[in-house]
Structure 1
Amino acid sequence: MEIILKEDIIGLGYKNDIVNVKSGYGRNYLIPQGKGVIASESAKKVLAENLKQQAHKLAAIKAEAEKKAEQLNGVELVITAKVSATGATYGSVNAAIVAEELKNKGIEVDRKIITMRDIKHVGDFEATIHFHKEVEVKVPVKVVAENAAVEAPVEEAPKAEEAAQTEETAE
């Protein structure tokens, strides 16, 4: 069943896209919720005419999305989480936590436009933020253990002191 989407649906398509979906999904969810209409010939003609008339508006929306994406250039998130001895996190790091970390950095992003798998262990991961149909940004997410974040700087300080002592004895 062909459907013309009336709004962005992550994982399916963007506004004004024509997508093929199973009949039940179209009839029972998309059409009653007002998220899509059946893609008949007349609806396709109306869509083409609307796209012609809205071309300049769509360009402005895309430019705004690119500006938001530019804010995320070079941003890397480090999230501390409680971790078990095996390296598994208690709970998981998900899109809502990533959105909150971005908010703490001063960048407002709706959690609904962030796609990623739930992170359940320590390591480096990637979150994709969909600002627009053609504008997507991949943000690196590093999950570290809560205890390791505290211990790491303490270990580095004695090494720096040892290096300074070694230089003094060499002179």
Structure 2
Amino acid sequence: MEIILLEDVKSLGKKGEIVKINEGYARNFVLPKKLGLEATPKNLNDLKLTKVKETRLAQEELDVAKALALKVAQKPVKLSIKVGEGGRTFGSISTKEIAIALQNQLGLEIDKKKMHLDDVIKTLGTHSVSIKLHKDVTAQLTVVVTEAK
């Protein structure tokens, strides 16, 4: 019997695959637990339409992430930090402050967990922060740190 899997099943396969299994296993385990559907022509057509819809949605998400990456790369974010004698800074700038500055200055709401800093920013000047917007899209944000007055 052929079954379309609705969820990942460890011994059978991944979601959306069409697998051939014993009729007893299908009737007693897979179908009652709603792990799969019988591969009828109607269900196969529904699967095809679902896959088309998923690929279209994935492409739209990718396009949105690319547009956001361009927007992030175009304008720098400006932050200020207190500086003492000899140019030593008091404190540091983390991804939380960068996310707040992005929201205030550019109107973009990006989660601080998507930002990657090798180490917190403790010096004045220009720094680059990578932001993972999508599994295939990483943007580079320019952060300009100046002295607070």
Give the alignment's Cα RMSD to 1 decimal: 2.7
2:15 corresponds, among 40, 43, 46, to: 46
Which 4+ stretches in 1 moved above 3 angstroms? 40-43, 45-50
| Letter matched to residue 124 of structure 1 | T
Any idea what the Cα deviations from partners look like across 1:94-144, whole Å, max 9, x if unmatched?
A: 111111111112222121211112111222211111110111110111211
- Write the mapping of 1:86-125 to structure 2, written as runs, cut at 5 A: 86-105=86-105, 106-116=107-117, 117-125=119-127
SS of residue paired to 1:108: coil
Residue 128 of structure 1 is matched in structure 2 by 130
SS of residue paired to 1:118: coil
Q: Greater helix percent: which structure? A: 1
| Letter matched to residue 75 of structure 1 | K
Separation in structure 1 between the aligned mates of residue 74 and residue 91 of structure 2, nearest angstrom: 28
Cα 1:122–1:48 change in 2 (3 A) is farther
Gaps of 5+ in 1: 1-39, 148-171
| Letter matched to residue 143 of structure 1 | V
Greater Rg over alpha carbons, structure: 2
Cα drift, residue 42 of structure 1: 4.2
Any idea what the Cα deviations from partners look like across 1:72-102, whole Å, max 9, x if unmatched?
A: 2311122110012132321110111111111
Residue 69 of structure 2 is matched in structure 1 by 69
What TM-score results when the alignment is normalised by the length of structure 1?
0.54
Any idea what the Cα deviations from partners look like across 1:45-76, whole Å, max 9, x if unmatched?
A: 437789x9232221111112122223223111
Q: Highest relative contact order (Cα 8 Å, sep 6+), 1 or 2?
A: 2
Percentage of pairs with the same residue: 24
2:73 and 2:140 in contact (8 A); partners too: no
Separation in structure 2 between the aligned mates of residue 115 and residue 102 of structure 1, nearest angstrom: 15
Gaps of 5+ in 2: 1-9, 19-46
Separation in structure 2 between the aligned mates of residue 88 and residue 47 of structure 1, nearest angstrom: 58
| Letter matched to residue 77 of structure 1 | V
Separation in structure 1 between the aligned mates of residue 11 and residue 141 of structure 2, nearest angstrom: 40
2:124 and 2:147 in contact (8 A); partners too: yes
Separation in structure 1 between the aligned mates of residue 146 and residue 12 of structure 2, nearest angstrom: 54
Separation in structure 1 between the aligned mates of residue 86 and residue 114 of structure 2, nearest angstrom: 32
Separation in structure 2 between the aligned mates of residue 75 and residue 129 of structure 1, nearest angstrom: 14
1:71 and 1:107 in contact (8 A); partners too: no
